[in-house]
Amino acid sequence: MTEYKTEAQKKKFYRSGDWETLRQQALVRDNFECQWCKKEGKVTVDSIKEEGKRKDIVLNVDHKYGIENYPQLALVLNNLETLCVYHHNVKEGRVFGQTKKKKWDDEKW
């Protein structure tokens, strides 16, 4: 069983052709939309690459079950989900936990 515990192992995985192929399959399946935004009724897609500019990367293909703990699910399409950068960060706990105040849904109208 291949393991993805270290940064080097993960890097190697994310550079592999197998991952690239599966990632594309996930994007096509998810219609190149963030699946969490979709649940909220929003459409978030990758920005169009403009000539001479670096493309903003908006969408990530995320493992629902992380490869570190579930290496056997690393190349399982059903374990993949297209997420925007924002929701990817939320899922990884990079947004929650930094501040206890919720920024987006505590406004009373």
Element (H, E) at 19: helix 17-29
CA–CA distance, 50 with 31 (Å, rounded to integer): 21
Q: In the bound complex, what is the minimum distance in angstroms from residue 102's beta carbon to Zn ion?
A: 16
Which residue number, 30 or 71, has a Cβ lying nearer to Zn ion?
30
Is residue 82 close enough to count as binding Zn ion by CB under 5 A? no
Strand-pair partners of 84: 59
Which residue number, 26 or 34, has a Cβ lying nearer to Zn ion?
34
CA–CA distance, 21 with 85 (Å, rounded to integer): 21
Is residue 80 close enough to count as binding Zn ion by CB under 5 A? no
Which residue number, 63 or 87, has a Cβ lying nearer to Zn ion?
87
Residues 6+ positions from 25 with CB-CB distance below 8 Å: 77
Please give the residues from 3 up to 62 whose contact with Zn ion meets the rule CB under 5 A.
34, 36-37, 44
Query: Residue numbers of the site for Zn ion (CB under 5 A)?
Result: 34, 36-37, 44, 84, 87
